[in-house]
Structure 1
Amino acid sequence: MILILWIIWDDTKKQLVKILEDNSRQLVKNYDAQLRKLVQQFDQNARVLLDNHKDQIKNLQDFLVLITKQIEEQKKQLDDQTKALYKSFDDQVQSLNKQIEEQTANLKKQIEDSEKK
C-alpha cells in the first residue's frame, strides 16, 4: 500500500512539475510575443513620426515611455505569476506530503492493530 502511495505521489509530483514548467514556458512565450508586438508597433510608429513634423517626435518619446512602462508592468505580472505558480506547486507538494504522512500513519496503526489481534 505504501508503495502504491509512493508511486502515486511520484507520478503526481512529476505531473505538477511538468504543469509548472509548461505554464512558465507559456508565460514566457506570451510575454515575448507581446514584447515583439510592442516593438513592432514602436518601429512602425517611429517611421511615420520621423517622416512627419518635429512636434511628433515628442509624441514618439512619450510613446516610448508608455511602452517602457507597459513592458515593466508585464514583466512584473510575469514575475508575480511565476511566483504564484511556484507557491501553488509548493503548497500542493506540502499537502500531498501531509496526506502521505497521514496515510502512512494510518497504515502503520492498522498493521499494528492487526498484529495485536
Structure 2
Amino acid sequence: MVTVADVRSLARTLPRSTEHLVRDRVKFRVGSIVYVAFSRDELTMGFGYPKEQRNELVAAEPDLFFLPGASDLRFNWLCCHLTRLGPEQMTELVTEAWRMVVPKFLARQRLGH
C-alpha cells in the first residue's frame, strides 16, 4: 500500500514541487498548480492526468481508478485508491502528473524525454 509519506519522498525530489496543507488535505504543487492531492483520510489520491485518456484507464482498472467529483471533471484529473496502488505505479503517476505542470525543459532535464 502506498502512503502519503511514500509520495512525499518522491515529490521532494521533483524540482519546484512544494507541499501544502489545504483544508486538512495534503497537496503537492508546482507554483499554484496542484498535481497531486489526498483525501482527508489519506485513502485516496487525486493526480493530474489527461482528460481524454482517463475513461480508458478507469475502464481498464475500475477497482483502482475512479473519476473525480463532478466539479473536477473539467480538469485534467483522475483519482485512485491508495490501498490498491503499488509503488512503481505511484512513481509513474506522480512523476507524469508533475511533468504535466512544469516547463518542458525542466521535465526533459529530470526525466530525459
State the TM-score, normalizing by the size of structure 1: 0.23
The structure in which a higher percent of residues are helix is 1
Bigger Rg over Cα? 1
The structure in which a higher percent of residues are strand is 2
State the TM-score, normalizing by the size of structure 2: 0.24
